Structure formats: C-alpha cells, structure tokens
Chain A
C-alpha cells in the first residue's frame, strides 16, 4: 500500500514537540531551541542508523541544525513516511536543555521524484541547507539534482565510489555548473596537508622547495585512490606556483587500510645524497592509524593525526559555509590527473 506525507503536518508535529519539551523541562529553565542550518542526510536503509544518529548528535552542539534524515529503500511503490523527534542535551548541569529538531523520512526509490517538494517546505527558513549524500547509488539517481538544487552545499564521500576517475569527473562537471561541493575524501587529507604546509613555514625548507624534482605518493591500494589524486594535484599545484617542475609517481605499499595514503615524499635533486627525501610522512601506529612520522632533513618528528570519523569530517565541512577555492582548484586538477592515469 502506498503512502505520502504532508509537510504541513510535519511542521505541526514539530510545533507540538516543542510544546511537549517545554512542559517536560524542569523548573523555570525552559528549553532553548537552536538551529543554524538545515542538514539533509540521504542514506540507504541498510546504512547504520545508529551511527548516523550518533554522528548527528555529536554535531549538534557545535552545528545545531534541523536535521532531515532520509532513508531510502529499493521499492517500486511510491511510499513516504515521516516521524519527528528532538535531539537534546543539557550543557549546564541540568539547568537548561538545548534541543534541535530532527525529521526522519523513509522513502522508496519510486517516491524520489516527490521528495524535493516535501523537503523544501521543511527546511528552516532563512538558513542554509547542506545535503550530505552517503551513498553512491543515491548520487546517481535521476532525481538527485533536484535535491542538490535546494541545497547550498552538497557533501559526498568519493571514497565510497569504486571508480576514482569517474567520480572526480562527475564532481568536476557539477562544480563547473556552479554547484558547491565538498568531498570527505578531501577533508581526510586536511591534517596531512597541514603537516606538509607547516614544514615549509621553515624558511630553510621553503628554499629547498624549488629543487623538488619528484613527488611520490604511496597508498595501500593497487591503483591510486581518490585521496592520492587529490594529494598529487594539490602538491603539484603548490610546486608549480613557485616554479618547480616535478615528476609525479604513484606507488602502492601495504598500509593501514585499503585506499588510505600511507606516505608522501618530496624528493629534491640536490640533497645530501644524490636523491634526498626532504619530506616524508608515513602513517604509523597501525593499531589506531592516527600518528604520522615527519622526516625533514635530519629531523624526525611524530604528530597525532586524529581519526577521521564521520563526525570529525562533517564538523570540518559544516564549518565552511561558503565555497572552498583550494578544494575546487584541486578537484579540477585531480580529475584531469585521474583521467590521464587511467587512460589506456
């Protein structure tokens, strides 16, 4: 049997929810309603609902939002169902609750064309809409552009796509059409990139940079993952800016997990040896996979790389409401690199 949902009814249920929360609150403290955006999460029904819920709950204190979680089921019937609840936390030792509203929609594939019309009125007025698409299949559904069109930013995770060259090309095309995109595979690189950038805050190391003749990027998979293309594109772009013309080499080596980067080397022509590694970042601490070893000249340093959980990655992306010029430039270059690499 089919079913649908009326946005007005959901909004009414939300209003009732706030009244009920207010009644439940103890004493005179009341409930504080917090909202800085609408966060739409698209996920498959098989996706871990509890993990999504925990990620959203963790994000709420810093990025309070009206969360609309849409769970998709492969089904020919046009069915939409919704329920409303609140995420609350008590930051002040039980003085006052802060709550964010959450709407959970269950949709079948057949009902997808109806979805944008349902979600649009449910978005919080005057605030940005961020769409987090957690599944490659959903990204490729014909109705996806409609959902993307009501969002100011679309967040994907290209690591979940099996074809790095293909997804980079698609994202690059979407970017060229003016869409604001974010990719959690790029976000995963932030700490790596920060370590590299920090090395060249040292003037002596910076002076060596034009002498880099080779960039080596090593990952755990047989062919370079999306992260490797991003890292390569970003490094080559930086080197070009200062007039260095380096060769690029992708390597495969056993490491922490499939797809992850495990080493980046910038190799100079004229080091103390015939080839000197002036930068080498290698993942260590395999149990946690969260430490990096940085070799610069004769110095070896270790730094913690926080585990890139969905929470940590989304938290970083939600902190960037506008466009990210560095990412956009890198994405275009990474798509080109990936296409060249996979060309027969």
Chain B
C-alpha cells in the first residue's frame, strides 16, 4: 500500500512538488541564463522545489561544476525580475547545480549523462525522476532524443519527461517527424512542448474569467460577439537574430504557436474538468475547427509585411533588409495579419483577426472582444452613443482585463460616454505574479501538462499555417511595405475594412 503525505493542507499550501533532477541541454545558452535559471532560483526562493532538487547543465563548453555555479549566479543576479537575490538561498540552491561538457552529436555523451544522473540521484535523493529540457538549436532535438533512447535514458527508476522549446518543426511534415522521433523514446504524455505564452498569468486567467464566472459565457458566441482581435506587437526589430528570423518570419514565429494557442483559449468550449487532457482536448478541438484557407482566401484574408527603415524619435532605424545577417532581397514577413474563421456552431461567421509584427509602435499583446452594438439606437446624439462594448484581455506588458461600456453623462439630457471598468493584475493582487517559466517549469515537474502543447494541437496549427505559408512562399511581395514604428501595412487596414471593422490602437 502506498503511503500518502499526511501533512498536506491544500487550502493553505501551494501545490507540492515531487523530488527530481532537471537536465538542461544548451545550459550555456541565452534561454538558460535569462529565463530558466532565474525561474528555478525564484522557485527555490519561494520554497517551491524539493529539498534535493538538482540541475545538470550540458553544453559543449568545458566547465567545472563550480564554474557553472558561478556563471549561473551571475546570470541569476542579472536577469532576476522583481525579486531579491539572497546569498544564503543561492548557496543552498547552488549545491544542487552540476555541469557536464559534451557534444550532443557524440554518442558517448548519453551513457555518461545517464551515469551522472544516477550519481546525482544518490547524492540528492531525487528518486530517479528526471526532466530533460531541450534548450538547444531545434535542429539538434532529434539527435538528442535518439541519443537518450540509445542510452536507455528515457526510462528509469522514476518518471522521465522531456520539455521541448518551439519551434516544433517548420511545417506540418517536419513537426510530424519530430514527434515520431520523440515518441521512439518518450510517450506523448511525457513530451512537454512549451509555449511560454500559455504560462502567462493572463492567458491562464482567460480560462478563469470564462469558466469561473457565470455572466460572460452566455455572451461568448456568434450571437453577441461581433469580432475578435488578437494583437502581439513588438517595438524592437530582430535584435541580432536576423539570420534566424529570415528563415522563420512572423507567421511561423508568432502566429503558428502563440497566437493560435491564445485564439484556442479564447474560443474553446468549456472542458468537463480542469484535468490536463480535458482542457487540451477542447483546445485541440477548437484548433481543428479553424478553417483552412484556399489560395484565393489567403490572398484576401492575409497580409504579409516587412518593415523598412525609418526615423523613430530622432533615431534612424534600419529596415529589416538592412539588419545584420539578413539577405538584402529577403521576402521574410516581419508582420503578419490573418483573418481566421472557426467553423463550429458557436463561432460560425465571426472573424478572428490576428496580427503580429516587429518594429510596431509599442510592445503590447492583447485580445479585444468586440460585442455587437445595441440593436436599436434609442438615444439620439453623436456616434459615441452607439459605441459597442469591448472586452480587452491584456497579456503584456500590463496584465489585466478591461470592459468598456456606455454610461450616461451627468446632467440633463441623455448623452452617453464610454467608461472603462478595469482590473489590473499588478495592483489588484498584492503579490508578484510568477513568470511564465516559473509556472511552466513547475507544471512539468508536477506532471501537469494543461498549459503545454500536444502533438495534435501542433499539427492542427501547422495545417492552418502551412496553407498560408505555401501561398506566401510562391508570391513575390513588394517589400518593405511599412515603415518601422507604424502599425503595419495599409493592406492590413483594408483587410478589416472589407468587413466594416478597424484595428484597435492598443
């Protein structure tokens, strides 16, 4: 008979985590330094990790455990957000940091890794539980999976899970190949495809907002919603990642994963329970309901853009083709706008406008749900008397929710004005929100895949995006078509105008 921890108190305690070791491939990379280690340190600071939690970092650079610890200490101090750095806590946490140098293409690495993990298990009482984290070049994922498989590192005394960073392939076929290779070593339930957008508090709050309140869900359909706009804008350019970015583009880099996952979260049906597969089943169902465009629809309902040079605030900003490492004739989309339709009973006929771009006026990610206007304008007056209700779910930078509605202006006569009812995460809750990586790492350790992407979801995303990308790949665009610092090409405005809509200015 297995014992249960008799000291649990779910009413007051945070979720408890099992003992485990985390093996990070690409431990010398930017993601590890900027995101993973600061998130892990913060979890340790918050007492969220087990006492013997251990990290084994792997990369090609030769380093001792001690050098790795020093390097990570400097990174955590530099990149820790909204948190104090405590020397005592770091010292205790750093005892669990280990390092191993090796080339992922070298078959000898994997048996050595397995042996090192067993050594750590004895030292740190990690129970044989291992979470592998692939933070390397995507082209190395398959090789690492094969190496782990050959060394039998995918099975052991405790559980084994693997976290894979995006991109999950570069099209449907390559995504299927990657999954097939991973499945030779790991069961799908052990594969955690990370989309850090889903770890953001406000994205999770969409589920709480929709399914924890009784008053909104009845309005959440084609009967009341006029259209939905999802915007993910960045004010920066490619920031030295030009060579990578020109192979990816905005459609693949943002819409294929982050924005379609947000769309699914906004539009999915309520799940019967909050169990991981129950929620993911509904998300997946929604993604499979997105209409796959025919070539003529792609031309009407999508806009590809690329920024050109401009002067912003007195500073000259290069165009994409002038960025280092970028082909001067690159046809890469640094901006993408798409009109999607969800072919199910709830959403038939409601346009979902998604746009994402670089070098737009500000960094903002938000979802705007525009409701139908009142059916009859009984109040005479100007246009503001018929402004439709708008629900805005802000994801970054200021996470929160706003509802805009009309109210009578004080005084005689019936003049209306729009007012806003706001909820802000930062100020409405006294405590700091965990970062997306804190949430997602903890979920993977606990074994909660609710916020991770499943194979069928990835494939549904690619099926939708491939249809667009195929047409774009065979089109010669007249780039650049928007100056840096503006809200994208005029064609994107025209795309909405055809249905009588306009983009919000976030």
- Interface residues of chain A, those whose CB is within 8 Å of chain B, are 28-30, 32, 58, 61-62, 89, 91-92, 95-96, 190-191, 193-207, 209-210, 234-235, 237-239, 241-242, 284-285, 291, 294, 296-297, 299-304, 315-316, 320, 324-326
Please determine whether B125 and A297 come into contact, CB atoms closer than 8 angstroms: yes
Given known contacts A190-B12, A202-B18, A299 and B124 CB-to-CB distance under 8 angstroms: yes
Please determine whether B18 and A320 come into contact, CB atoms closer than 8 angstroms: no
CA distance A32 to B92 in the complex (A): 46
CA distance A286 to B276 in the complex (A): 43
Please determine whether A202 and B7 come into contact, CB atoms closer than 8 angstroms: no
List the count of A-B residue pairs having beta carbons below 8 Å apart: 135
Given known contacts A303-B89, A304-B45, A200 and B7 CB-to-CB distance under 8 angstroms: yes
Cβ of B6: which chain A residues have Cβ within 8 Å of it? 200, 209, 237-239, 241-242
Further pairs besides A190-B9, A206-B5, A316-B12: 20, Cβ < 8 Å: A58-B430, A61-B427, A61-B429, A91-B428, A193-B12, A196-B7, A197-B16, A202-B50, A202-B52, A210-B3, A241-B6, A242-B3, A242-B4, A294-B51, A302-B88, A303-B47, A304-B45, A320-B11, A324-B12, A325-B11
Q: Report the minimum CB–CB distance from B121 to chain A (whole Å).
A: 10
Given known contacts A96-B420, A206-B5, A242-B6, A285 and B51 CB-to-CB distance under 8 angstroms: no
CA distance A191 to B421 in the complex (A): 36
Contact of A201 among B12, B18, B95, B424 (CB under 8 A): B18
- Interface residues of chain B, those whose CB is within 8 Å of chain A, are 3-9, 11-14, 16-19, 44-47, 50-52, 86, 88-89, 91-92, 95, 124-125, 127, 417, 419-422, 424, 426-430
Please determine whether A28 and B16 come into contact, CB atoms closer than 8 angstroms: no
Q: Report the minimum CB–CB distance from B492 to chain A (whole Å).
A: 28
Q: Report the minimum CB–CB distance from A6 to chain B (whole Å).
A: 29
Closest A residue to B426 using CB positions: A91
Please determine whether B19 and A201 come into contact, CB atoms closer than 8 angstroms: yes
CA distance A207 to B125 in the complex (A): 13
Please determine whether B427 and A92 come into contact, CB atoms closer than 8 angstroms: yes
Closest A residue to B425 using CB positions: A91
Closest B residue to A325 using CB positions: B11
Given known contacts A202-B19, A205-B125, A209-B3, A92 and B52 CB-to-CB distance under 8 angstroms: no
Main secondary structure of the interface of B (DSSP, over half): loop
Closest B residue to A284 using CB positions: B88
Given known contacts A202-B52, A205-B125, A195 and B422 CB-to-CB distance under 8 angstroms: no
Cβ of A209: which chain B residues have Cβ within 8 Å of it? 3, 6
Please determine whether A194 and B47 come into contact, CB atoms closer than 8 angstroms: yes
Cβ of B428: which chain A residues have Cβ within 8 Å of it? 61-62, 91
Please determine whether A302 and B422 come into contact, CB atoms closer than 8 angstroms: no
Cβ of A198: which chain B residues have Cβ within 8 Å of it? 16-17, 47, 50-51
Give 12 pairs: A residue, B residue, CB < 8 Å, sorted on A: A30-B419, A89-B427, A91-B422, A96-B422, A190-B9, A194-B47, A204-B125, A242-B3, A301-B51, A303-B89, A304-B86, A320-B12
Closest 6 CB pairs of A and B: A91-B427, A238-B6, A197-B7, A241-B6, A302-B92, A303-B47
Closest B residue to A330 using CB positions: B9
Q: Report the minimum CB–CB distance from B384 to chain A (whole Å).
A: 11
Contact of B125 among A92, A202, A284 (CB under 8 A): A202
Contact of A207 among B3, B89, B426, B430 (CB under 8 A): B3
Q: Report the minimum CB–CB distance from B487 to chain A (whole Å).
A: 22
Q: Report the minimum CB–CB distance from B439 to chain A (whole Å).
A: 18
Cβ of A62: which chain B residues have Cβ within 8 Å of it? 428-430
Please determine whether A201 and B16 come into contact, CB atoms closer than 8 angstroms: yes
CA distance A62 to B7 in the complex (A): 28
Cβ of A234: which chain B residues have Cβ within 8 Å of it? 7
Closest A residue to B410 using CB positions: A22
Cβ of B92: which chain A residues have Cβ within 8 Å of it? 300-302
CA distance A204 to B51 in the complex (A): 12
Given known contacts A197-B8, A201-B5, A285 and B88 CB-to-CB distance under 8 angstroms: yes
Please determine whether B51 and A193 come into contact, CB atoms closer than 8 angstroms: no
Cβ of A320: which chain B residues have Cβ within 8 Å of it? 11-12
CA distance A291 to B44 in the complex (A): 13
Closest B residue to A295 using CB positions: B51
Please determine whether B51 and A61 come into contact, CB atoms closer than 8 angstroms: no
Q: Report the minimum CB–CB distance from A240 to chain B (whole Å).
A: 8
Please determine whether A304 and B12 come into contact, CB atoms closer than 8 angstroms: no
Please determine whether B3 and A201 come into contact, CB atoms closer than 8 angstroms: no
Please determine whether A326 and B11 come into contact, CB atoms closer than 8 angstroms: yes
Cβ of A32: which chain B residues have Cβ within 8 Å of it? 421-422
Cβ of B430: which chain A residues have Cβ within 8 Å of it? 58, 61-62, 315
Given known contacts A58-B430, A92-B424, A299 and B51 CB-to-CB distance under 8 angstroms: yes
Cβ of A296: which chain B residues have Cβ within 8 Å of it? 51-52, 125
Q: With a 10 A CB-CB cut-off, give which of B417, B424, B429 has the most chain A CB atoms.
A: B424
CA distance A202 to B429 in the complex (A): 32
CA distance A210 to B5 in the complex (A): 11
CA distance A209 to B92 in the complex (A): 24
Q: With a 10 A CB-CB cut-off, give which of A201, A207, A235, A297 has the most chain B CB atoms.
A: A201
Cβ of A197: which chain B residues have Cβ within 8 Å of it? 5, 7-9, 13, 16
Please determine whether B50 and A201 come into contact, CB atoms closer than 8 angstroms: yes
Closest B residue to A202 using CB positions: B19
Cβ of B19: which chain A residues have Cβ within 8 Å of it? 201-204
Contact of A193 among B3, B9, B18, B427 (CB under 8 A): B9
Please determine whether B125 and A299 come into contact, CB atoms closer than 8 angstroms: yes
Cβ of B125: which chain A residues have Cβ within 8 Å of it? 202, 204-205, 296-297, 299
Q: Report the minimum CB–CB distance from A35 to chain B (whole Å).
A: 14
Cβ of A96: which chain B residues have Cβ within 8 Å of it? 420, 422
Closest B residue to A290 using CB positions: B86
Q: Report the minimum CB–CB distance from B205 to chain A (whole Å).
A: 15
Q: Report the minimum CB–CB distance from A338 to chain B (whole Å).
A: 21
Q: Report the minimum CB–CB distance from A318 to chain B (whole Å).
A: 11
Q: Report the minimum CB–CB distance from A223 to chain B (whole Å).
A: 26
Closest A residue to B18 using CB positions: A201
Closest A residue to B124 using CB positions: A299
Closest A residue to B446 using CB positions: A201
Cβ of A284: which chain B residues have Cβ within 8 Å of it? 88
CA distance A237 to B19 in the complex (A): 24
CA distance A305 to B428 in the complex (A): 23
Cβ of B89: which chain A residues have Cβ within 8 Å of it? 291, 302-304
Please determine whether A202 and B14 come into contact, CB atoms closer than 8 angstroms: no
CA distance A56 to B14 in the complex (A): 25
Cβ of B426: which chain A residues have Cβ within 8 Å of it? 91
Given known contacts A206-B3, A302-B89, A201 and B13 CB-to-CB distance under 8 angstroms: no
Q: With a 10 A CB-CB cut-off, give which of A89, A200, A203 has the most chain B CB atoms.
A: A203
Cβ of A200: which chain B residues have Cβ within 8 Å of it? 5-7
CA distance A320 to B11 in the complex (A): 8
Q: Report the minimum CB–CB distance from B434 to chain A (whole Å).
A: 15
Q: Report the minimum CB–CB distance from A57 to chain B (whole Å).
A: 11
Please determine whether B11 and A202 come into contact, CB atoms closer than 8 angstroms: no
Cβ of A92: which chain B residues have Cβ within 8 Å of it? 422, 424, 427
Q: With a 10 A CB-CB cut-off, give which of B16, B51, B91 has the most chain A CB atoms.
A: B51
